[in-house]
Structure 1
Amino acid sequence: MGYKNTKECLDALEAKGDLLRIDQEINPNIEAGVIQRRIFQAGGPALLFTNVKGCKFPMAANIFGTKERLHFIFRDTIETVERLMKLKMYPMEAIKKPWQYLGAPRTAYHTMPRKLSEGPVTANETTLAQLPQLKSWPMDGGAFVTLPQVYSESPENPGFAGSNIGMYRVQISGNEYNNTEVGLHYQIHRGIGHHHAQALKKGEQLKVNIVVGGAPSMSIAAVMPLPEGLAEIFFAGALGGHRIPMVMRPNGLPVPAEADFCICGTISNEQKPEGPFGDHIGYYSLTHDFPVLKVDKVYHRSDAIWPFTTVGRPPQEDTMFGDFIHELTSELVPSVFTGVHEVHAVDVAGVHPLLLAVGSERYVPYAEERQPQELLTNGMALLGNTQTALAKYLFIGAKEDMEHGENCHNIPVFFKHMLERANLKRDLHFITRTTIDTLDYSGMGFNEGSKLIFAAAGSKKRELGTELPKLPTLPDGFGEAKIFAPGIMILKGRKSETSRGEQDPQMEKLGEALRHTDGLEGFPMIVVVDDPDFTAMNWENFLWVTFTRSDPATDIYGAGAFTKAKHWGTKKSFIIDARMKTYQAPPLDPDPEVEKRVDALAASGGPLYGII
């Protein structure tokens, strides 16, 4: 029941006809990543590279690349795990309908890891230099582990119950790293940070195991947004359908027995530059100092396979992780966030920059006109807990107004609903100089920026425009207006030259020029961009450009803007400056030569023929 290691899983996929072996030599330096991304975009099979240039270990990719494949891998457990999770919301259901929950006790039993003295993972030792040197994008600073399971335990509460498994970026070569240390890039709001803080407080170094491969459920557990205090190792057992076997090592930190590889070490007091790295927002995350892990041992099993993925502008393989997690947890949202009915971290906008949500508005049910009140409480909760706290823009609407089945997963309908109902003088609420996603370079500084709660409730306040109004003379360099969707206008802007944290006087002039425009009331949202044609091509481009290239407090302006008692509002339209700024990280561009090599692999007679 459930796959215990990578080889078991790949053998099953191959027997099903859902795995492609590539025996031709493939370079882990960019080429393997290009193949994986293009196979994913084509909805293709899992991949097994049997001949990796400069490395004796085979590499596997796209294991989690389709929803159907994920359901196949976890076909024995997914329904029972969903039922077990629902018991948190509806405990009486198990009494009323026990036949629906008969598997839950056994699933709960599987959550407890099993201790072993030895296991396949510790059969052999190797070095960092002998591991696959995967580099995904041309400007990457070195080789990275892209599907790691980083295991740590609380120094104050050691053991499985106090453990954390996270998928944090791990750089194994390049920059200043030698063959005995790696860069451990963990971002804010991550569980390992609590463990590291506890170790520093106690004057200790934090022991860490970086696991690659093993039970597929371990990879899902590493990205699962579980409540604080619920260890990922327990969830991995439930989803995997078996107790995860753990080899107890002399240093006291266990190693998953069925893993393919494990890098064991301690976080030192040293920091070194890590990056750049092509990341999931669609840009490079730049070089910054991060903790160094001093490596003690590198273990691998005798039939070790190196699973990997590559990330970049969504959708990518990690999109499937997000969809799968939403499937498992969507019904739990109201139990975690009281009054919130559904949330949608918008993948095509880089996941964290844009969060859409539907909440209740019940604070004043007797009022003649509903307005955002409970929604603001809901919004603060979303921005203060779990992974939703990384959101930069939160659009939240009232369920009571959604009489025709509107929801936050139908993005065009949701935006129309919100823009029709928002009171622009009242409903934009900023949080300034706060923490934002580590990978987001649009803000005031590293990990620092702002957030916006855009809340809308009540009756329609405007009819959204579908024809361009006659625009006045705009400041030099601004023009080429396009309608993207009802109520949303795109304008071409001059090249941005502002410094970080500074507002652009030319954007202020644009707002002043537009404030008296007749018919602008139908366009509450205006977005200024470098390339209107690219931005207006589809919703994916629009969302990515708008919400990854702007910081709310710095880059929102208004046609008729005002500030009263420190509250900002606008009389006609809010204007988002979504131009590329001088201080933002560069977007990910492919290497043309490598793309040509992959094209050749897809030609007649090549291993990728008929797939991409």
Structure 2
Amino acid sequence: MIYPGGVVGYRNLQQCVADLERRGMLVRIEAPLDPNLEIGAVQRRCYQRGGPALLFTNPVNCRFPLLGNLFGTLERTRFIFRDTLDDIRRLVELKVDPFSLLKHPLDLLKAPCAAWHLLPTFSSRAPVMECRTTLSRLPQLVSWPKDGGAFITLPQVYTENPSKPGFGSSNLGMYRVQISGNNYEPDRQVGLHYQIHRGIGGHHAEAIARGEPLKVNIFVGGPPAMTLAAVMPLPEGMPELSFAGLLGGQRIPMARMEGQLPVLAEADFCIRGLVHPDRTLPEGPFGDHLGYYSLAHEFPYVQVEEVLHRRDAIWPFTTVGRPPQEDTSFGAFIHELTGPLIPTVVAGVKEVHAVDAAGVHPLLLAIASERYVPYAPRRQPQELLTIANAILGQGQLSLAKYLFVAAQEDAPDLHTHDVASFLGHMLERADWRCHLHFQTATTIDTLDYSGSGLNQGSKLVIAVAGPQLRVLGQQVPAGLEFPAGFGGARVCLPGILAIQGPASRQGRGECDASIETFCNFYGERDRFDGFPLIVICDDCDFTADTLNNFLWVTFTRSNPETDLYGIRSLTRGRHWGCQGALVIDARIKPFHAPPLEDDPEVERRIDSLAVKGGPLEGLV
């Protein structure tokens, strides 16, 4: 879609806000709302309605306006970056197929213009350096009732390699920043929570090895391109500042400070400080994007030296929680930009989908080639297993917990984003005696509490290839009986049955004897013909009610190493499988983090403002 009359990117957040408001894509909310729970709840509800960006101009106990839901729809995100999308797609296409220049040689003339934007500019003055404030005067945004304090939810954390300073070795990442609460010294310390496999980790490790503190700048606001660049999965060696320039359609202006890291000139806020070696403090809890609280753990913190801001500063924010949320639009937009590159990174891969409804990292779906023995009378997963290992060796993809891989040759029209059809294809062909491949005692997402410890858990690769083996059932088997403590069954999808079980009492890293009893109850009298997958859950009606419920419950509440069982299970050598249905224990365990729930009093307050004639009418 072509949008007339646009500028070439936005130099700062103020330009973006003015443009969106002029076009009816942003609404000002002048009613006094509290950053403690109320503003975040309004933003989430507005997102669910597909609503506009929101500028809260009169937040309680805060002088700075807050901007929420900026990227709340994919269409609005595309609009914000409308002037540069063709350039980015052209460069992606060249990466995928350099011979495309032979078909469109004039594109080569445009490439140097886009490449010029990869280089930031440097000066000694900047709008962000005009004013100073303190942490306690920043918006104290608390998103969920059990959060441990106020957090920056759209931070851009900038560091450079201590051994090789300069923007060429820089990292810009969106790492969680807690600005109040816990044991942090007020106005002097902020928590810095970064997950494993993040770019900042290398810089931090280098600083520790040198025995010196790591310099950190935390930007908030500025050009929208900087926010997106901070979450982009960029190739090794490409600075996020360069991508932000490319996406924003102009070189990113930075300001030098003597003896310090450069600051983003057009940022709305900048928190400067140091991360000292081997110093940590408890950070969290925080309601996170898996739909649960990430609990308090020891993480590094920044000893704050100063807080800078521009005179007309705006505080952009989002709130996260059980998907879909605003970060879902981030993910969809990123996939549009980077999806064509996946086959160039892992040979043989057609597409990969990190399933947002399952919390992103818990579930990956992939389609790849199976060409190792094309002369064999029956196709079996062989190349798929090589490709699966390659996928699990790629950056953030390495944190995946479940990876389902299908052979492209079996269904050329299959796509991973049609999740229901993809799972149906897998289950029609799955042979649980040989298609399950475990990795145990390995790393998983820091935010995932289903494993054996922080960052610790297991992975399961399910790779299928070959002809259809069964017809999937679509109705609960007639006369189905249950062992004691189990009862109630619903069909989630063809071939997938949710069965309600007793409350889990298992310990971390343990299996549950009650699920073994369930499997043994059926034994040779397996009644699950047509249902190769059974999910044991706390509430079968909730689990089966929607596809998103099934995905969320099943893949965020299970750890393959301890929560997979099978009817008529068998072990050959060290390979485990089963002859009957595969059983996933997806009940909430005693050691799991609690799920996120809205504050009823806050919800009633928002409802009262959303009545006809109220300040939130039509928005929530």
State the TM bucket, normalised to the shorter chain. over 0.9
Q: What does residue 323 of structure 1 align with?
A: 332
Q: Deviations over 1:365-411 (max 9, x none)?
A: 111111111111111111111221121100110000014x1111101
Q: Is the 8 A contact 1:472 1:513 kept in 2?
A: no
- Aligned to 2:524, the other structure's residue is in SS state coil
Q: What does residue 377 of structure 2 align with?
A: 368
- Aligned to 2:319, the other structure's residue is in SS state coil
What 5-or-longer segments of structure 2 have no aligned partner? 1-7
Choose the corresponding residue for 2:236, options 228, 248, 262.
Answer: 228
- Aligned to 1:223, the other structure's residue is in SS state coil
Residue 217 (1) aligns with residue 242 (2): no
Choose the corresponding residue for 1:313, options 322, 327, 332.
Answer: 322
- Aligned to 2:336, the other structure's residue is in SS state helix
Give the letter for the 1:496 counterpart: S
Aligned residues: 611
Q: 1:564 deviation in Å?
A: 1.5
Q: What does residue 52 of structure 1 align with?
A: 59
After superposition, residues 221-300 of structure 1 pair within 5 angstroms as 221-269=229-277, 270-300=279-309
- Aligned to 1:522, the other structure's residue is in SS state coil
Q: What does residue 5 of structure 2 align with?
A: none
Q: Deviations over 1:114-137 (max 9, x none)?
A: 011111011111110110000000
Q: What does residue 352 of structure 2 align with?
A: 343
Q: 1:100 deviation in Å?
A: 3.5
Q: Deviations over 1:404-443 (max 9, x none)?
A: x111110111011000111110001000010000000000
Give the letter for the 1:367 counterpart: A
Give the letter for the 1:592 counterpart: P
- Aligned to 1:289, the other structure's residue is in SS state strand
Q: What does residue 106 of structure 2 align with?
A: 99
Please provide the CA RMSD for this pair.
1.1
| Farther off after superposition, 75-84 or 274-283 | 75-84
Matches of 1:419 and 1:251 in 2, distance apart? 59
Q: What does residue 556 of structure 1 align with?
A: 564
After superposition, residues 105-120 of structure 1 pair within 5 angstroms as 105-120=112-127
Q: Deviations over 1:258-300 (max 9, x none)?
A: 0000001111231000000000000000000100100111100
What 5-or-longer segments of structure 1 have no aligned partner? none
Give the letter for the 1:259 counterpart: A
TM-score, normalising length: structure 2: 0.97
Matches of 1:506 and 1:44 in 2, distance apart? 46
After superposition, residues 32-51 of structure 1 pair within 5 angstroms as 32-51=39-58
Q: Is the 8 A contact 2:526 2:567 kept in 1?
A: no
Q: Is the 8 A contact 1:472 1:517 kept in 2?
A: no
Matches of 2:611 and 2:481 in 1, distance apart? 53
| Farther off after superposition, 563-572 or 141-150 | 563-572
Give the letter for the 2:343 counterpart: P
Q: 1:96 deviation in Å?
A: 3.6
Matches of 2:165 and 2:545 in 1, distance apart? 52
Give the letter for the 2:74 counterpart: K
Q: Deviations over 1:197-240 (max 9, x none)?
A: 11111111111100000000000000001112111111000000
Residue 194 (1) aligns with residue 193 (2): no
Q: Deviations over 1:100-124 (max 9, x none)?
A: 4442211111010001111101111
Give the letter for the 2:10 counterpart: Y
Q: Is the 8 A contact 2:526 2:580 kept in 1?
A: no
Q: 1:587 deviation in Å?
A: 0.2
- Aligned to 1:332, the other structure's residue is in SS state helix
Residue 73 (1) aligns with residue 80 (2): yes
Q: Is the 8 A contact 1:470 1:517 kept in 2?
A: no
Q: What does residue 130 of structure 2 align with?
A: 123
Matches of 1:245 and 1:172 in 2, distance apart? 26
- Aligned to 1:515, the other structure's residue is in SS state helix
Matches of 1:353 and 1:449 in 2, distance apart? 11
Matches of 1:102 and 1:71 in 2, distance apart? 24
Identity, % of aligned pairs?
Answer: 58
Residue 474 (1) aligns with residue 474 (2): no
Q: Does the C-alpha gap of structure 1 residues 518 and 433 become closer, same or farther in structure 2, counting only changes over 3 Å?
A: closer
Q: Is the 8 A contact 1:83 1:101 kept in 2?
A: no
Q: 1:475 deviation in Å?
A: 2.9
Give the letter for the 1:29 counterpart: N
Q: Is the 8 A contact 1:528 1:579 kept in 2?
A: yes
Choose the corresponding residue for 1:593, options 594, 601, 604.
Answer: 601
- Segments of 4+ in structure 1 off by > 6 A? none
Matches of 1:103 and 1:514 in 2, distance apart? 66
Q: Is the 8 A contact 1:151 1:208 kept in 2?
A: yes
Give the letter for the 2:355 counterpart: V
Q: 1:84 deviation in Å?
A: 1.0
Give the letter for the 1:398 counterpart: A
Q: 1:466 deviation in Å?
A: 2.1
Residue 167 (1) aligns with residue 170 (2): no
Give the letter for the 1:81 counterpart: I
Q: What does residue 528 of structure 1 align with?
A: 536
TM-score, normalising length: structure 1: 0.98
Q: 1:10 deviation in Å?
A: 0.4
Matches of 2:490 and 2:572 in 1, distance apart? 32
Q: What does residue 87 of structure 1 align with?
A: 94
Give the letter for the 2:11 counterpart: K
Matches of 2:608 and 2:480 in 1, distance apart? 52
